[in-house]
Structure 1
Amino acid sequence: MTDIRDRSWQRHDLLQVAPVAWRLALGSAPLVAELPFVRGWSERGWPVILRRHAEHEDSDLVPVGLPLPPGAGRHRVALLLPRAAILHIRRPPTLRAAAWAADPAWRATINALLELGERRHVEPAVVGSLLWQHLTGLPYLTPSSDLDLLWPIRCLRDAYPLLDGIARVQQTACLRIDGELILPDSTAVQWRELWNARLGSDDAEILGKSLAGVRLIARSSVVPSGYDA
């Protein structure tokens, strides 16, 4: 059985669950099954998202989750599934693919971020409310929604030039740009935290996230010493 801590599994992976296995899982969680949209989730072809194991959860089972839209109470569903229940795994869709579901007022910001990605040779992916509205068509986005993105970088020297660009787009954006840089070893760091730490000492620490957990990492291990911000 594949351990989800293996490098072939990543945070934010989208998992398609066999409908029969979904019904069996809900049979053990009747309160979850009664929440809006949950019972027919898999039958509609909607995926769930891979999450970290909570303390005391069975490590042989796959931990998955899904958020419900604000109109359904903003519940966050967490279930455990056998590995055999997962039909296939995919990464989150790109911002370019999901842009159709965004508020039209976001268009200028999205275009600027797509242009930035082209210049820096990075294809941003979507998570958060825009991801789920794109996948389901349900109304996840609200006037206060952030734009949550994942920026996978190929080498560490790309980090701050990319952050420079995101920060410039944020200056004129009509919404908050949130999200993470995904480092070459699959560790994720929040882009704002890394940006705000750019003038700190080399031993300054930032949070790094992976399926294995959360840990503090030195800023200098992400961005080469001597970078001129």
Structure 2
Amino acid sequence: MFARHDLVWLTSRGWERAHAGAPSGTAGALDAWRDAGWPATVRRSETSLAPGEVAIGFAMPPRPDGGGKLRVGCRVELADVQRRTRALALVGALDAVPAAWRERLAVLEREAAEAGLGLAVYGSVALEALTGQRYLTPASDIDLLLRPLNRAQLMAGLDLLARYATSLPLDGEIVFPDGRAVAWKELRAAFGSAPGTRVLAKGLERVALVAPGELIATLEEGAWPN
């Protein structure tokens, strides 16, 4: 089961398909990515996928002229994926973050681990850690993923993130067992809102407004898929 922000390494045939489906003018950037051995990132597809396909993307480093990142989206077959992992664990990205964040972020990671909460990272922090290229700017956020196992972990995780967000530029998502994800700030705010409040839930195939209770119910239904 693939999820948004998963990391995938492609076979030779996968790279051929990536080239075939990528926008014109991106071949050189894709070749450099392939030659470096860096992974693609699983993303939500804007159009329907055929059975056995997965949507992936490549976000190149920001241009020196401030022109933003070149983003390349394409799709490959599941058989084109040589290896897959979940999003990069936060502990694996600590050396890549600016010194001003590092100590406080390490304390957050340690406190989360002690509470049984595993934190992962995506976006610019993850890409800088994975590639060694410069992605982070003074305006960058720290995009975290939290996958709670039950309601107690969800509430503890939201409180922990809110507490550390006072000293770190934290952003990111809570990911529920069925793969749907909600911005943690939006979800936390919804708990104090009027009945009927809905939050934007992003899945691998679609985005929809849902009641927080619908998502929380999935925590009570069993274990996470592998």
> Unaligned stretches of 5+ in structure 1?
1-7, 225-229
Say whether residues 1:147 and 2:139 are aligned partners.
no
TM-score (norm 1): 0.84
Q: Give the aligned partner of residue 101 of structure 2.
A: 106
AA in 2 matched with 1:55 = T
> Unaligned stretches of 5+ in structure 2?
218-226
Q: Give the aligned partner of residue 4 of structure 1.
A: none
CA contact (8 A) 1:152 1:182 kept: yes
Say whether residues 1:97 and 2:92 are aligned partners.
yes
Measured against aligned partners, the alpha-carbon deviations of 1:185-225 in whole angstroms (never above 9, x if no partner) come to: 3321110001111211342111111112112221233459x
CA contact (8 A) 1:122 1:151 kept: yes
CA contact (8 A) 1:26 1:32 kept: no
Greater shift, 185-194 or 110-119, is seen at: 110-119
Equivalent in 205, 210, 213 of residue 198 of structure 2: 205
Looking at structure 2, the residues matched to 185 and 21 of structure 1 have their Cα atoms a distance apart, in angstroms, of: 27
Shift of residue 134 of structure 1?
A: 0.9
AA in 2 matched with 1:200 = S
Looking at structure 2, the residues matched to 124 and 130 of structure 1 have their Cα atoms a distance apart, in angstroms, of: 13
Q: Give the aligned partner of residue 66 of structure 1.
A: 58
Say whether residues 1:162 and 2:157 are aligned partners.
yes
Measured against aligned partners, the alpha-carbon deviations of 1:108-153 in whole angstroms (never above 9, x if no partner) come to: 3302321331243111001000111111111111111100010110
Equivalent residues, number = 214
**RMSD of equivalent CA atoms:** 2.2
AA in 2 matched with 1:106 = W
Q: Give the aligned partner of residue 54 of structure 1.
A: 46
Looking at structure 2, the residues matched to 28 and 165 of structure 1 have their Cα atoms a distance apart, in angstroms, of: 41
Matched ranges for 1:161-180 at <5 A = 161-173=156-168, 176-180=169-173
CA contact (8 A) 2:117 2:153 kept: no
Matched ranges for 1:216-227 at <5 A = 216-222=209-215
CA contact (8 A) 1:156 1:184 kept: no
TM-score (norm 2): 0.85
Measured against aligned partners, the alpha-carbon deviations of 1:4-43 in whole angstroms (never above 9, x if no partner) come to: xxxx1111111101235314532564624345x3213123
Query: 4+ residue stretches of structure 1 with deviation over 6 A?
Result: none
Looking at structure 2, the residues matched to 32 and 105 of structure 1 have their Cα atoms a distance apart, in angstroms, of: 37
Say whether residues 1:10 and 2:13 are aligned partners.
no
CA contact (8 A) 1:23 1:39 kept: no
Measured against aligned partners, the alpha-carbon deviations of 1:139-168 in whole angstroms (never above 9, x if no partner) come to: 111111100010110012322222112111
Equivalent in 181, 184, 187 of residue 191 of structure 1: 184
Matched ranges for 1:25-64 at <5 A = 25-27=18-20, 29=22, 31-34=24-27, 37-55=29-47, 58-64=50-56
Q: Give the aligned partner of residue 12 of structure 2.
A: 19
